[in-house]
Structure 1
Amino acid sequence: MTQIASADEALDVAAKLSAEFEAEASTRDAERRLPHEQVAALKKSGLLAVTVPVDYGGIAAPAAVLAEVFRLMAHADPSLAQIPHSHFVFLEALRLQGTDSQKAYFYGQVLGGALLANAQSERGPHTIDVDTTTLVRRPSGDYLLSGRKFYSTGALFADWVLVRASLTDGSTVPTAQTPKAIAFVARDADGVEVVDDWDGMGQRTTASGTVTLDDVAVPVEHVVPFSPIFAGPSVYGARAQLIHSAIDVGIATGALAAGVRQAERARPHFEAGVATAVEDPTLVALAGELAVTVRGAQALLAEAARAVDHAAAHLSDESAAEASIAVAVAKVAAVRASLEASNVLFDLGGTRSASASGNLSRYWRDARTHTLHDPTRWKVQHIGRYTLSGTPPPRHGQL
């Protein structure tokens, strides 16, 4: 197992993996071929351990490095990039709320190449902040976990499935106010079933399917409190959204690169009076406008990552709010850039780019699917209130 020794090495490894992942990304999407080999390579690369604290054997890579790692992966294959998203989000939860023994054990697992995946979201009619999945303490001292989760990205590939659940005595129906915890559950534990029933038009190979938990026994040392994260200022939500933003920016840079490749092969419009499509002044303007949009999103992503790192080092209500708003701004820009780039690439390439064999629609399908996470219309609301009146954004896992 590779042990990454520095932030620079992490970026070098991510760049190399990105090139490898890109080679067959289109085919994997077209055939919905799940990336088992690529996930295995990710586990062996050492990248999954880059945020492990120094005291536990890691390099504690900053958010700025993590964001660029995800952008590089998403540039090549957005589905692959989304698979380890929750891995890093829950490592942050472990850092914030885990005991010393829990950190030593699970950081050790990650340093050995283990992948963590999520089982968080549930289908309605209840809202997303209610978990009907329950953790009930038994007289023996351990917990019994029961419930059903959907959109469990990466669970099919995981060594540990991390389940967000309500802490109850089993006699009441959970509400949004019911305290929550995270259960670290071995992928092969009795009572755990992971079903690959994700049928999204985009992000087709994330295996974001269903996890069913049927009276799963969970040792008390595998349960980490979740609700207390939001009792005071933190960058937990901002870090989670930063990674989502990095994936969207990666889709944008990947789509722009694909559009440039298409333009280099396209025929010029006869009215342009030029020898190649890349000399067509209308395409030149189109490419220039798109480059501004995409590079602007990249710059805002980097700025947001720096804000998260600053807030983590100097945590206060003010710094946490500033980081959340910076990430919200980056998220809005990233969503717009990914959708714009994945649409304009067809204009750059012309009719040939619409060929099914080229599968260029995957950029738009991935962008349209992934950008449905945490709607930006709410980000704009929080940004506007903060700008006009200094109203801080709410504390929850989506900011």
Structure 2
Amino acid sequence: MLAMHGSKEKMMTSYQTIIQNHQPLAPARYTAKRIIKNDAEALQIATELSQSFKEKSIQRDAERVLPFDEIEAFSQSGLWAITVPKRYGGAEVSSLTLAKIIALFSGVDGSIGQIPQNHFYALEVLRNTGTEQQKQRLYQEVLSGLRLGNALAEFKPKNASLKQTQIKAIETGYVINGEKFYCTGSLFAHRIPTLVIDEEGREYLAFVRSDSEGLSLIDNWTGFGQRVTGSGGVKFTQVFVAAEDVIPFDSAFQHPTLVGPFAQLMHAAIEVGIARAAFEEALKRVHAARPWIDSNVDAAAQDPLTIYEIGRVAADVHASEALLKHAALTIDEVRLNTNVETIAKASIAVAKIRAHSTETALKASSKLIELAGSRGSQSVDGLDRFWRNARVHTLHDAARWKYYFIGNYVLNDIFPPRRGTL
């Protein structure tokens, strides 16, 4: 049974009724208010909407109020459909535009910035492995306002690469049995793309309706950061899925595709957004702080050691933003000429920003609290949320392995592995 946090008044109307007896939350009717046509329109809407989410960001984090209203507004804006290819009626924005938009929302609220990541990821898998009929139907649903969650990760297998959630063919389609964890965005989703394995060991992505019988959404995410991502569990007990809602997954990595680099670019954008926001908040706090007693200056902004630390963070944030831009441009360049060599090039470009953004987000968010002084520790200001969000999100992938793959590529000409975690 899905246990909700926060007042029901804060939830959007279609999510107010919770079905008991371990039944999932019935999905809202989705009708997007607009279809975005180009990159400029997407950036303008994202800039305006992200700023409107600032007001209650501290409260959402402190009280763990799940952002149902914000996610509804986010998807209603048309932003959740911006990667739909033009031939299917979407804007098909550049990877750079998408990265900028994710960074904008992540700077306001790291959780909100992460929630649509798996939605865009599933759409990229669909682009690469779905049939023409599946693309036409699912892309149209997304243009109409459909939100996708995810049920990819599992916590029971000894190795993260092993999957136990099974899909089995029946006369009318398939049934799924298993349990998933860290299912970011699924509490807000209409369909939940689920990574499953068949009896022959093949992996598929099943676009399961969130109101399916036998599906349970479990709000049990207790991470100290990214607290309102809705990253709980999903349990499947004889859950039916139609054959037309199942697409190959493993082939997206057996052949050279951009699925992996594209996914990792979005993760990097989340961290870059957090880093930029933490840095800008640090500038405000330093101007309001008192100088250290040994500095012999009248204002903290005149303290030479504070100036030094701000300069270091400024350089790192700018470097991360430059690496993010380079990686995004590389992905779009490679999309026009995809092969083993170019995919490796894109993967390494993304690995560079993932490694750097991990360190920058942690440094910027930590220095924010340090330079704000003891006043920065007050819970009413919620400055710790930047570091907590950065720390939890950067656990998604190990930066040390990014450096290893980069080093092996530039030193030994060894291509990095193709998978969703690079």
| TM superposition shift of 1:286 | 1.1
| TM superposition shift of 1:60 | 1.0
In the alignment, is the contact (CA less than 8 A) between 1:119 and 1:155 conserved in 2? yes
Corresponding position of 1:134: 166
Corresponding position of 1:91: 123
Distance 1:126 1:90 in 2: 25
| TM superposition shift of 1:275 | 2.6
Which one of the candidate residues 206, 223, 229 is aligned to 1:183? 206
Distance 2:133 2:213 in 1: 24
Verify: 1:148 aligned to 2:179, yes or no.
Answer: yes
Corresponding position of 1:347: 370
Judge which range, 262-271 or 221-230, deviates more.
262-271
| TM superposition shift of 1:314 | 1.2
Verify: 1:3 aligned to 2:26, yes or no.
Answer: no
| TM superposition shift of 1:347 | 2.3
In the alignment, is the contact (CA less than 8 A) between 2:157 and 2:163 conserved in 1? no
Corresponding position of 2:354: 331
TM-score (norm 2): 0.91
- What SS does the corresponding residue of 1:348 show, helix, strand or coil? helix
- What SS does the corresponding residue of 1:283 show, helix, strand or coil? helix
Which one of the candidate residues 237, 253, 261 is aligned to 1:230? 253
Corresponding position of 1:358: 381
Aligned counterparts, 1:112-261, within 5 A: 112-138=144-170, 140-168=171-199, 178-261=201-284
In the alignment, is the contact (CA less than 8 A) between 2:168 and 2:174 conserved in 1? yes
Verify: 1:378 aligned to 2:409, yes or no.
Answer: no
Distance 1:78 1:198 in 2: 15
- What SS does the corresponding residue of 2:354 show, helix, strand or coil? helix
| TM superposition shift of 1:274 | 2.6
Distance 1:340 1:267 in 2: 22
- What SS does the corresponding residue of 1:151 show, helix, strand or coil? coil
Amino acid in the other structure paired with 2:365? S
In the alignment, is the contact (CA less than 8 A) between 2:157 and 2:164 conserved in 1? no
- What SS does the corresponding residue of 2:150 show, helix, strand or coil? strand
Deviation string, structure 1 residues 96-118 (Cα, Å, up to 9, x no partner): 11111111111111101111010
TM-score (norm 1): 0.96
Distance 1:269 1:382 in 2: 43
Deviation string, structure 1 residues 301-347 (Cα, Å, up to 9, x no partner): 11011111111111111111010000000001100000000110122
Distance 1:125 1:45 in 2: 39
Amino acid in the other structure paired with 1:322? K
Uncovered stretches (5+) of structure 1, i.e. residues with no partner: 170-177
Distance 2:400 2:292 in 1: 38
Verify: 1:388 aligned to 2:419, yes or no.
Answer: no
Which one of the candidate residues 1, 4, 16 is aligned to 2:48? 16
In the alignment, is the contact (CA less than 8 A) between 1:310 and 1:319 conserved in 2? no
- What SS does the corresponding residue of 1:302 show, helix, strand or coil? helix
Deviation string, structure 1 residues 345-393 (Cα, Å, up to 9, x no partner): 1222111111121111111111110000121111111001001011100
Verify: 1:65 aligned to 2:97, yes or no.
Answer: yes
- What SS does the corresponding residue of 2:403 show, helix, strand or coil? helix
Distance 2:118 2:384 in 1: 26
Distance 2:296 2:56 in 1: 37
Runs of 4+ in 1 over 6 A off after TM superposition: none
Corresponding position of 2:140: 108
Distance 2:411 2:62 in 1: 46
Distance 2:135 2:403 in 1: 36
| TM superposition shift of 1:141 | 4.2
Corresponding position of 2:10: none
Judge which range, 277-286 or 368-377, deviates more.
277-286
Amino acid in the other structure paired with 1:2? R
Uncovered stretches (5+) of structure 2, i.e. residues with no partner: 1-32
- What SS does the corresponding residue of 2:72 show, helix, strand or coil? helix
Distance 2:343 2:231 in 1: 30
- What SS does the corresponding residue of 1:114 show, helix, strand or coil? coil
Corresponding position of 1:32: 64
| TM superposition shift of 1:5 | 1.4
- What SS does the corresponding residue of 2:149 show, helix, strand or coil? strand
Corresponding position of 1:282: 305
Amino acid in the other structure paired with 2:59? T
Distance 1:387 1:202 in 2: 35
Deviation string, structure 1 residues 220-240 (Cα, Å, up to 9, x no partner): 000001111122211110000
Identity, in percent, stands at 39
Corresponding position of 2:18: none
Deviation string, structure 1 residues 181-232 (Cα, Å, up to 9, x no partner): 0011111111111011000000000110010011011110000011111222
Amino acid in the other structure paired with 1:202? G
- What SS does the corresponding residue of 1:345 show, helix, strand or coil? helix
Distance 1:231 1:287 in 2: 45
What is the CA RMSD across the aligned residues, in angstroms? 1.0
| TM superposition shift of 1:271 | 2.9
Amino acid in the other structure paired with 2:141? Q
Q: Number of residue pairs matched?
A: 390
- What SS does the corresponding residue of 1:118 show, helix, strand or coil? coil
In the alignment, is the contact (CA less than 8 A) between 1:89 and 1:236 conserved in 2? yes
In the alignment, is the contact (CA less than 8 A) between 1:260 and 1:348 conserved in 2? no
| TM superposition shift of 1:241 | 0.4
- What SS does the corresponding residue of 1:152 show, helix, strand or coil? coil
